[in-house]
Amino acid sequence: MHVHALDNLRYIRETMERASAFTAISGWGLIAVGLTALGAAALAWGKPAARWLVIWLAEAVISFAIAAISTVRKARAARMPLFSMPARRFALSFSPPMAVGALLTLALYRAGLWDALPGIWLLLYGTGIVTGGAFSIRVVPVMGLCFMLLGGLTLFLPPAWSCAMMAAGFGGLHLLFGALIVRRYGG
């Protein structure tokens, strides 16, 4: 009887956790984003600052499209509501750091402070993932913390390391955590 009651409690807890978490994060989408980021890093390597910035901004647009499409596909396949309360909370928590990143990119571009962009982008993206991940599966905030650590480190490395750090973060971390999500949470 005791074991049966514990199984029931575990089932109820897991059901409530799923209902309160945004679980449509696509591991395959993160893997695709990681691959395109590695391509962007290869294209941007050694380019003048203005061209480097254009490549990475284009990558951001491509990555956003991949993430949006893959999230919609995963939600539909799992018959999950895409605009559930956890999904809205994820988006509302993720958006402010991204907006701050866009504003800081403009300000730093105008000031000619290109070298700070990689660290700031990694930090703010990680912040968005941590805050949004509070409404998602457990591995998502961990991914955000890894981005934040990498971004903090990037701020203090020589500018020559920036492309490698962008590749490690936006490429490597997306590949790693995408594979974890595919394996543990089904695509």
pTM of the predicted structure, to 2 decimals? 0.83
Give the separation between CA 82 and CA 73, rounded to whole angstroms: 10
Q: Does 36 map to a domain? A: yes
How high is the pLDDT of residue 16?
A: 53
Instruction: Give the Cβ contact number of residue 38 at 10 Å.
Output: 19
Q: Which residues does residue 136 pair with via DSSP β-bridges, in sequence order? A: 22
How high is the pLDDT of residue 2?
A: 67
pLDDT single digits (tens) 132-183: 877 777 888 999 999 999 999 999 999 999 999 999 999 999 999 999 999 9
Q: Does 18 map to a domain? A: no
Q: Does 6 map to a domain? A: no
DSSP letter at 161 equals: G
How high is the pLDDT of residue 43?
A: 97
In the chain, the number of structural domains is: 1
Q: Does 3 map to a domain? A: no
Q: Does 16 map to a domain? A: no
Which among 28, 35, 63, 7 has a CA at the least distance from the CA of 183?
28
Q: Does 43 map to a domain? A: yes
How high is the pLDDT of residue 116?
A: 94
- Boundaries of domain holding 72: 23-185
pLDDT single digits (tens) 102-134: 999 999 999 999 899 999 999 999 999 998 877
pLDDT value at 49 more than 60: yes
Q: Does 164 map to a domain? A: yes
pLDDT single digits (tens) 8-31: 666 665 555 455 566 668 889 999
